[in-house]
């Protein structure tokens, strides 16, 4: 099992999640974070920390978010590890809750 970052993180990227992860399994892209499924120990700590409610357990993903399992696994292989909280984008709150952000994901 692993936890998975889903679509609402795109362009929000609050990074509160990285502060609580005991095994440093978050990886950072230009406007999205992912979890390395090989490192996640399923501790559940990150899920309630995300202001965008973008983190779910793999087996509790919303219906249209299943493809993020593969995306987290794939992108965590090439993106660098992030361990410290940083300021979110200035317009993060405006993007919180917007639908269909997948096309805006920068790799």
Positions that interact with ligand F3S (CB under 6 A): 5, 9, 12-17, 33, 50, 52, 54-55
Cα dihedral 37/86/60/105 (nearest 10): -80
Q: Which of 42/91 has CB closer to ligand SF4?
A: 42
Q: How far is the CB of 45 from ligand F3S (least distance, A)?
A: 12
Tell me how far apart the alpha carbons of residues 52 and 54 are, in angstroms, rounded to a whole number.
Answer: 5
Tell me how far apart the alpha carbons of residues 88 and 40 are, in angstroms, rounded to a whole number.
Answer: 23
Number of H helices, E strands in the chain: 3, 4
Task: With CB under 6 A as the rule, give the number of residues binding ligand SF4.
Answer: 13
Binding of ligand SF4 by 54 (CB under 6 A): no
Q: Where does this chain touch ligand SF4 (CB under 6 A) — which range of 7-15, 38-46, 70-78, 89-97?
A: 38-46
């Amino acid at each position: 099992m692993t936890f998975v970052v889903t679509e609402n993180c795109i362009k929000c990227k609050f990074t509160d999640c990285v502060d609580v992860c005991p095994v440093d399994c978050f990886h950072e892209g230009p406007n999205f974070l992912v979890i390395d499924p090989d490192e996640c120990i399923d501790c559940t700590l990150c899920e309630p920390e995300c202001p965008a409610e973008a983190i779910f357990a793999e087996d509790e993903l919303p219906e249209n978010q299943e493809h993020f399992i593969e995306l987290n696994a794939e992108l965590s292989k090439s993106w660098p590890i992030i361990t410290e909280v940083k300021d979110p984008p200035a317009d993060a709150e405006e993007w919180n809750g917007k639908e269909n952000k997948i096309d805006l994901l920068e790799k």
